[in-house]
Structure 1
Amino acid sequence: MDGTLVDTEPYWMASEHALVSSFGGVWTHEDAMGLVGSGLPAAARILQGKGVDLSVDAIIDRMTDEVVQQLAVSIPWRPGALELLRAVSDAGVPQALVTMSISRMAAAVVDRIPFPAFAAVVSGDMVERSKPHPEAYLLAASTLGVDIAACVAIEDSLTGLGAAVASGAAAIGVPHQLELDPAAPYALWPTLAGRTVADLATVSSEHRGSGPATTETEARR
């Protein structure tokens, strides 16, 4: 979701910087980039290591509050994201949102989508193990009642792509804050703008080696 569907990374980075600074610490751009794609508990522990004297839960709540407040003002949708969500929804293909943000953060985004997009939402507080572990993707496939091998996962970070690939889904990397490896076992798209259900079906077909593409694929973000 963060960085793939909506460009919330600047909001998270600003919150991290303000939080560390409030405890007299220093938070660099490199520090912030190191957290892109991370689960919130892991990120909170790193912030503690930078001098933030709060519990993991308190850090997560404080940062989430600040990002949700920003989203209430403006939702920075990534190029082509809403259009592809709409196309997949119109095609009758079930979709799940898989995010390491907590439930209320996910709801703040999903509730602003101007059409029913997701049949399931899996958030970071619903799983024991954060990305790059595949638990969240496997839970999403189970919730949808589909074979994970028939699913297509769209991610913008190496951490998220690691989870998608490990789950057995076909994976598409759409780089945003970080460069992605063009030789890695996932498709690489520079943007979602102009992409179609047929494009997703092609990725799914190539992943399964099943011949001509169909539209029977489940898109994940």
Structure 2
Amino acid sequence: MTHSTPAAVLWDMDGTLIDSEPYWISAEIRVVESFGGEWTHEDAMSCVGNGLLESARVMQTKGVTLDAQVIVDQLTDSVMAQLKEFGIPWRPGARELLTELRESGVPTALVTMSIGRMAQHVVENLGFHGFDAVVTGDDVEHAKPHPQPYHMGAAALGVAISDCVAIEDSPPGASSAYASGATVIGVPFMVDIPEEKTHVLWPTLEGRTLDHLSELHAKVTTR
């Protein structure tokens, strides 16, 4: 490992590590329509990367008369059922990069606004030990785009956030990671990410390696 190797890599989950966003959208549509409302593509896109309680509050404005936490639980149940039926849908290049990080001894944390039981299901079904720490929406007082989730991820690994690389797919997630002080790689999926909220935008993780992360991190930290 060289001096430019990050002390840790912090991963978002939905849309970054796994292709679960379509599952969330399907779950949102089902809940809203059960109350006679309409959940448009624009509504779904506005919630990508947000904390689940914030998404639930948006759904309440569409006529869902359930408590926000009940909405979160129903959405999570639906997504977990789809994951159990169809398996873990990896994003391109994510499994390969995570595997290389593990084999190289680079600590990793999952930093997701999904709740704990959802994240735990994904972690337990990756097929290998993927993460040294997991931070979920249950753990934080302030959801993304607040920097707290990424500060907690670095703290859980015992490293400085400025020594970490974070990988994100959404504006709230990228904003959270950037504000925390991490080196941020944006990999847009469902929605675009403003350039100013990342240090680099990659169209995919396919073909990306630890060397790419180390090179970027060295550039950012020596500016």
Normalization by structure 2: what TM-score?
0.92
- Partners of 1:182 and 1:127 lie apart in 2 by 26
Cross-structure match for 2:175: 162
1:219 matched to which residue of 2? none
Deviation at 1:114, TM superposition (A): 1.3
Partner SS for 2:138: helix
How many angstroms apart in 1 are the aligned matches of 2:116 and 2:192? 28
- Corresponding residue pairs, total: 210
Percent of counterpart pairs with the same letter? 53
Match of 1:80 among 93, 108, 121: 93
Question: In structure 2, what is the equivalent of residue 186 of structure 1?
Answer: 199
Between the two structures, name the one with larger relative contact order (CA 8 Å, sep ≥ 6): 2
Compare 138-147 and 106-115 and name the one that shifted more.
106-115
State the distance in 2 between where 1:156 and 1:195 align. 15
Choose the corresponding residue for 2:20, options 8, 11, 15. 8
SS class of match (2:106): coil
Q: Is there any run of 5+ residues in structure 2 with no aligned partner, and where?
A: 1-12
| Aligned equivalents of 1:140, 1:182: Cα separation in 2 | 23
Q: Give the drift of 1:185.
A: 4.0
Find out whether 1:60 has 2:107 as its counterpart. Answer: no
SS of 2:190 mapped into structure 1: coil
The SS at the match of 1:195 is: coil
Q: Secondary structure at the match of 1:124?
A: coil
RMSD, aligned α-carbons: 1.1
- Distance in 2, matches of 1:193 and 1:131, equals 25
Superposed displacement of residue 38, structure 1: 0.6
Deviations 1:127-160 (A, max 9, x none): 0000000101001111100010000000000110
Conserved? CA contact 2:174–2:193, under 8 Å: no
CA-to-partner distance for each residue in 1:31-80, whole Å, 9 max, x for gaps? Answer: 01100001001001111111101101110111100000000122211001
**Do the aligned residues in 1 keep the contact of 2:150 with 2:177 (CA within 8 Å)?**
yes
1:99: which partner in 2?
Answer: 112
TM-score by length of 1: 0.93
Q: 1:146-157, aligned counterparts within 5 Å?
A: 146-157=159-170
Residue 123 of structure 2 is aligned with which of 94, 107, 110? 110
The offset of 1:183, in angstroms, is: 5.3
Structure 1 position 25 matched with structure 2 position 40:
no
Partner AA of 2:138 in structure 1: D
Gaps of 5+ in 1: 211-221
Deviations 1:7-42 (A, max 9, x none): 111111111111111001111111011000010010
Amino acid at match of 1:140: G
Q: Equivalents in 2 of 1:64, 1:189: separation in Å?
A: 29
Farther-moved stretch of structure 1 (62-71 vs 177-186)? 177-186
